[in-house]
Chain A
Amino acid sequence: MAHTRARGCDVTVAGELLTLLPSRAIWWERRRTLIVADLHIGKEQTFQSFGIPMPSSVLDETLNRLDALLGHFGAERLLVVGDLLHAKRGLTPDVIDRVGAWRVRFAGQVDLVLGNHDRCAAMPESWNMRCIHDALREPPFSFQHEPPGEQCGSDVYTISGHLHPMVRLEGRVDSLLLPCFVIGAQVAVLPAFTPFARGVRMHTDTGRIFAVAAGDVIEVRP
């Protein structure tokens, strides 16, 4: 179920043009880079190891969606803003092989800014990734997994993940909870790339909110 459509929402952040994609990723055209966060690879397998039957095909969907996006844009680089992995238990030989096979399919560079979950295990060598501790500086941006608590200077704009932001849209009768992008004054937060994650509910006072719904990205105004 890969979304290959280029539909999305263009926003200008710190002078750079970014496209927010309904597949829960950001396309950074100038650097030909696809930015994602929170893949939580191996989460299903972690559940399985505790006896909870979750389908392993979640990983296929995640990798297929990555393939489709990278191919569609002709991306030269994939930048993961943390939590590529879920837990050490999830790093099974099968998972290592399937991600390794994907890595062979994608010829570009993969940069991983390590997140809290990634510190549980060493990345398999076959995945051929550059791991960055703490933060990756690429002016005007700084990429780090957890959004900074305090603003670290007006010349730096941080792009983060970690929160798995969600927004609640309320109708008269019921409501929907949707993954979203948050574009704040100095911090942007990506939604989780994995379909298998719950998140933190955001309000419009944290920044502009762009909800992902039905193959589209929709700005939610207060």
Chain B
Amino acid sequence: MRRVTVRAHSPSKADLKLDPLRAFFAAQGWAPYPYQEETWRAYAEGRSGLLTVPTGAGKTYAAYGGPLAELVREGPAPKGAMSSLRVLYITPLRAVSRDIEKALRLPVEALELPFTVGSRTGDTGSSERARQRKRLPEVLVTTPESLSLLLTNEHPEELFASLRCVIVDEWHELMASKRGVQVELGLARLRRLAPTMRTWALSATIARPEAAARIAVGPANEASVIRAEIDRPIIVESLLPKSIERFPWSGHLGLAMLDPLLAWLDPAVSTLLFTNTRSQAERWFAEILRRRPEWAERLALHHGSIDREVREEIEARVKAGRLSLVVCTSSLDLGVDFSPVERVVQIGSPKGIARLMQRAGRSGHRPGASCRVLCVPTHAMELVEIAAARTAVARCEIEERPGVLRPLDCLVQHLVTIGLGGGFVAEDLFAEVRTTAAFAEITRQEFDWCLDLVTHGGEALRAYQQFRRLSLGEDGRYTVTNKMIAQLHRMNVGTIAADATIAVRWVRGGRLGSIEENFIARLHPGDSFLFAGRALEFVRMRDLAAQVRPARQHTPFTPRWDGSRFPMSTALAGAMRRVLHDAAEGRLDEPEMVAAAPILQAQRELSRIPRLGEILVETTVTNEGHHLFLYPFEGRLVHEGLAVLLALRLGRVAPATFSLAINDYGLELLTERTTPYVQYLDHERFAGERLVDDLLESVNLGELGLRQFREIARVAGLIVQRYPGAERTGRQLQASASLLWQVLCEFDPANLLVGQARREVMDRQFEESRLARTLRRLREERLVHVVTPTPGPLALPLIADRIGGSHLSTESLLDRLAAFRVGAGVGS
């Protein structure tokens, strides 16, 4: 907020309603930004919409001002009125709800208004809850999960009838997720309970804000978009390696840059060091501590597997300026307002433009300051990525985040929520959910399938005769009548999929955090690993916890957390193709491109640097076999899908076993056969038809589907994470997602949730729609084939990755089993 001297203000007629606000701002010594006034006016005119603010403070008061002024004008609800709630503020971050509550209370106290401001989150204590049961505060801060819980109140119309405004914070984060869908469904319900309610979504800079606004307010309603024009330039710099010849060509840890970064860091200056993976964060933290033990007091590690309490303590210490160096992951992309942070470091390519801008925005909160981010490349081609990222930031090319379409698991959960919250008539609720963007196109058939699932467990009536989550009353309303069901639902509402994690504890007691079950499953007693900044030795599994002690030897291996590596985004990939084109034309405008020049020169001499409109294919022969490299520059997920697809389709030309390797730039198919497969890279192989069928044929969906199903099962209430009271209930209901997946696939294959898991795999695992667009590029652009005498600079990292063990197999489960039999020995 700008601090200015208060000047006299002559209010126009329309502004009269805003007098209390101006008084508050004046009393604080603030002058409102133009976008804040614009938002206040839009609200006063009865509009809903979206407010995008690049970074920094001010958006809370922009959205809150209008409803606050209205509240002042209308006065509090009469004593004894059940319905007192006027403003609901939804934040996805439980940790910041207290800060928001404080900010919302400030004007109420400053202006001595007769209103209460409160919060309702998972952390709200029981006495506060009891007070709220009698009467909700006028202004309430809550989370998507707690909103769903409020909606399970038996008389929601009494609770929400007086609601005037809902503010949804961090909408750019929420909208592309199932939590966002949960909010969409909740908003649709609230609009029905309080028809005059207005919705304001707050977001960072995003692509297509109009679309984001329509998702927030409902596609049928009119949405305003207000953009804050705040001039806060983002400056992307990089730490250049001294010698490119001795800089690694692949890898993602980036420790080659440790020395230069240590020299750059200053423990007196508050700095966030962002990494892309938890394992990378662990390694960097350990290395910095090893080399600068004297920094221990001011250094911390922060990522999603570290216990929440520890994380919150770190956040508080950063905020208070008592910690200056924090190695972190996307766990600190959002959340607590870290005013003391002056510098931001990005280790490795940010892989996405929105992410880079978000992270850069964590620095320089002082008025008028610019945001600076220092990128540290982990290998040579990342220099090109960083240069590309800078050009994309300058052009404000941000990734689009498509919404989640028709996630039936969310609907299943919502049906039970509304069944608890007073019940519903099927036709009405069907019409209501269709007012959300997520379910705008849901068919009555799909809706009825979900309703069937929660009333008698699916279409096969006999199959689930014990089952009743909802029952249909004689009045035509579906309600929850079973107390146990109600209790289970309230305890498990939400869409945040807890990974299958296991607590990490010292043998002597004391908890360190939690870690993915998959990782622990691969450890043997005596193995050591890095976790929460410590070298630990795995001792044993006991009582669902991994027991550890400090490691004796110092060659720990770092956990590889699932899915923690981001693929290069569409926006960054496009920018990278553009800067490579410039390099091919001899233009090296960015300092990173100059630093990378020797590598680019080697690529040019041995092969070619692809220009726009071209896709490079290289073939070469080594003693490993015949290599085919294809470089679409579309990110690793797309390349993964493309690699298995091409292996399948080329295998139809002439059967062969391919070894596959992929990275963000391209893919490799290696075979021992001499078949000139490159000649078959044509329209037929790149056809968009049968894409999904062919992928299904070539990938072992069992395991991938399972990973996705874990989340779906949790949201749809197939997996119960928390049980009421007696532990015995828990034991009777223990089932892992893998078990349910297996049982449903075998015994109920037509289950729509199984189908949804398959669809989500296609989308998340291979970015199916992006893959389809890539295939079109491959058909339309010019394929340039170069035969190289040896693998070139683009090819070598692929070979290194494949040898490193991250290659894909095209063998079937049974082939692999046969291999196991040979390897493991066969009984009689």
Which A residues are in CB contact (< 8 Å) with B747?
55, 57-58, 61
Could you tell me the distance in whole angstroms from the C-beta of A136 to the nearest C-beta in chain B?
25
Instruction: State whether the Cβ of B463 lies closer than 8 Å to any Cβ in chain A.
Output: yes
Which of B201-209, B384-392, B465-473, B606-614 touches A? B465-473
Which B residues are in CB contact (< 8 Å) with A121?
none
Instruction: State whether the Cβ of B96 lies closer than 8 Å to any Cβ in chain A.
Output: no
Nearest opposing residue in chain A for B819, CB measure: A171
Residues of B within 8 A of A (CB): 416, 453-454, 457-458, 460, 462-469, 482, 484-485, 488-489, 521-522, 703, 717-718, 720, 729, 732-736, 738-740, 742-744, 746-748, 805, 807-809, 813-814, 816-817, 819-821, 824-828
Which one of B521, B729, B732, B738 has the highest number of Cβ atoms from chain A below 10 Å of its Cβ? B732
Q: A48-B467, A56-B465 are in contact. List 18 more A-B contacts (CB 8 A).
A: A1-B746, A9-B827, A9-B828, A50-B485, A50-B720, A50-B732, A50-B733, A51-B468, A51-B488, A57-B463, A169-B817, A173-B809, A174-B816, A176-B820, A195-B743, A214-B817, A219-B826, A220-B824
Of A10, A56, A172, A174, which one neighbours B464 at CB under 8 angstroms? A56
Nearest opposing residue in chain B for A60, CB measure: B747
Contact digits for A64-102, partner B, Cβ 8 Å, 1 yes 0 no: 000000000000000000000011010010100000000
Instruction: State whether the Cβ of A14 lies closer than 8 Å to any Cβ in chain B.
Output: no
Nearest opposing residue in chain B for A92, CB measure: B466
Instruction: State whether the Cβ of A126 lies closer than 8 Å to any Cβ in chain B.
Output: no
Contact digits for A94-130, partner B, Cβ 8 Å, 1 yes 0 no: 1000000000000000000000000000000000000
Could you tell me the distance in whole angstroms from the C-beta of B743 to the nearest C-beta in chain A?
5
Top-10 shortest CB links A-B: A219-B827, A48-B466, A221-B825, A53-B457, A51-B469, A48-B467, A55-B747, A55-B748, A51-B485, A45-B466
CB-based contact B808/A173 at 8 Å: yes
CB-based contact A195/B746 at 8 Å: yes
CB-based contact B466/A49 at 8 Å: yes
Which of A28-36, A139-147, A155-163, A196-204 touches B? A196-204
Nearest opposing residue in chain A for B743, CB measure: A196
Which one of B454, B717, B824 has the highest number of Cβ atoms from chain A below 10 Å of its Cβ? B824
Which A residues are in CB contact (< 8 Å) with B458?
53, 55
Of A1, A46, A173, A201, which one neighbours B732 at CB under 8 angstroms? A46
Which B residues are in CB contact (< 8 Å) with A2?
none
Could you tell me the distance in whole angstroms from the C-beta of B706 to the nearest C-beta in chain A?
11
Which A residues are in CB contact (< 8 Å) with B742?
195
Instruction: State whether the Cβ of A27 lies closer than 8 Å to any Cβ in chain B.
Output: no
Contact digits for A179-199, partner B, Cβ 8 Å, 1 yes 0 no: 000000000000000011110
Which A residues are in CB contact (< 8 Å) with B463?
55-57
Listed A/B pairs (10) with beta-carbon separation below 8 Å? A46-B733, A50-B488, A52-B733, A53-B453, A54-B718, A55-B744, A56-B466, A172-B805, A198-B739, A220-B824
Could you tell me the distance in whole angstroms from the C-beta of A50 to the nearest C-beta in chain B?
6
User: Given the interface contacts A9-B828, A45-B466, A94-B465, does A173 sit within 8 Å of B807 by beta carbon?
Assistant: yes
CB-based contact A50/B746 at 8 Å: no
Could you tell me the distance in whole angstroms from the C-beta of B463 to the nearest C-beta in chain A?
5
CA distance A50 to B735 in the complex (A): 13
CB-based contact A214/B732 at 8 Å: no
User: Given the interface contacts A50-B733, A52-B720, A197-B739, does A218 sit within 8 Å of B467 by beta carbon?
Assistant: no
Could you tell me the distance in whole angstroms from the C-beta of A11 to the nearest C-beta in chain B?
8
Contact digits for A4-36, partner B, Cβ 8 Å, 1 yes 0 no: 000001100000000000000000000000000
CA distance A220 to B823 in the complex (A): 9
CB-based contact B718/A52 at 8 Å: yes
CA distance A176 to B819 in the complex (A): 12
Q: How many residues of A contact B (CB 8 A)?
A: 45
CB-based contact B735/A47 at 8 Å: yes
Which one of A10, A51, A54, A168 has the highest number of Cβ atoms from chain B below 10 Å of its Cβ? A51
Which one of B465, B816, B827 has the highest number of Cβ atoms from chain A below 10 Å of its Cβ? B827
Of A9, A47, A196, A210, which one neighbours B733 at CB under 8 angstroms? A47
User: Given the interface contacts A46-B733, A53-B457, does A10 sit within 8 Å of B828 by beta carbon?
Assistant: yes
CA distance A56 to B463 in the complex (A): 5
Could you tell me the distance in whole angstroms from the C-beta of B785 to the nearest C-beta in chain A?
30
Could you tell me the distance in whole angstroms from the C-beta of B71 to the nearest C-beta in chain A?
40
Which B residues are in CB contact (< 8 Å) with A221?
824-825
Which B residues are in CB contact (< 8 Å) with A218?
820-821, 824, 826-827
Which A residues are in CB contact (< 8 Å) with B416?
51
CA distance A174 to B706 in the complex (A): 14
Instruction: State whether the Cβ of A41 lies closer than 8 Å to any Cβ in chain B.
Output: no
Which A residues are in CB contact (< 8 Å) with B718?
52-54
CA distance A210 to B521 in the complex (A): 20
Which B residues are in CB contact (< 8 Å) with A220?
824-825
CA distance A168 to B814 in the complex (A): 15
Nearest opposing residue in chain A for B460, CB measure: A55
Could you tell me the distance in whole angstroms from the C-beta of A46 to the nearest C-beta in chain B?
5
Could you tell me the distance in whole angstroms from the C-beta of A60 to the nearest C-beta in chain B?
9
Nearest opposing residue in chain A for B457, CB measure: A53
Of A48, A50, A198, A217, which one neighbours B827 at CB under 8 angstroms? A217
Which A residues are in CB contact (< 8 Å) with B748?
55, 57
User: Given the interface contacts A55-B464, A89-B732, A173-B807, does A50 sit within 8 Å of B484 by beta carbon?
Assistant: yes
Which A residues are in CB contact (< 8 Å) with B468?
51
Which B residues are in CB contact (< 8 Å) with A174?
703, 809, 816
Contact digits for A203-216, partner B, Cβ 8 Å, 1 yes 0 no: 00000001001100
CA distance A174 to B815 in the complex (A): 13
CA distance A210 to B814 in the complex (A): 17
CA distance A65 to B688 in the complex (A): 44
User: Given the interface contacts A10-B828, A54-B743, A87-B732, does A49 sit within 8 Å of B820 by beta carbon?
Assistant: no
CA distance A56 to B462 in the complex (A): 8
Which B residues are in CB contact (< 8 Å) with A219?
825-828
Which B residues are in CB contact (< 8 Å) with A172?
805
CA distance A197 to B729 in the complex (A): 16
CB-based contact A171/B464 at 8 Å: no
Which B residues are in CB contact (< 8 Å) with A50?
484-485, 488, 720, 729, 732-733
CB-based contact B817/A210 at 8 Å: no
CB-based contact B485/A171 at 8 Å: no
Of B467, B521, B735, B817, which one neighbours A53 at CB under 8 angstroms? B467
Could you tell me the distance in whole angstroms from the C-beta of A70 to the nearest C-beta in chain B?
22
Which B residues are in CB contact (< 8 Å) with A196?
735, 739, 743
User: Given the interface contacts A89-B732, A198-B738, A214-B817, does A58 sit within 8 Å of B467 by beta carbon?
Assistant: no
CB-based contact B743/A55 at 8 Å: yes
Which A residues are in CB contact (< 8 Å) with B736?
198
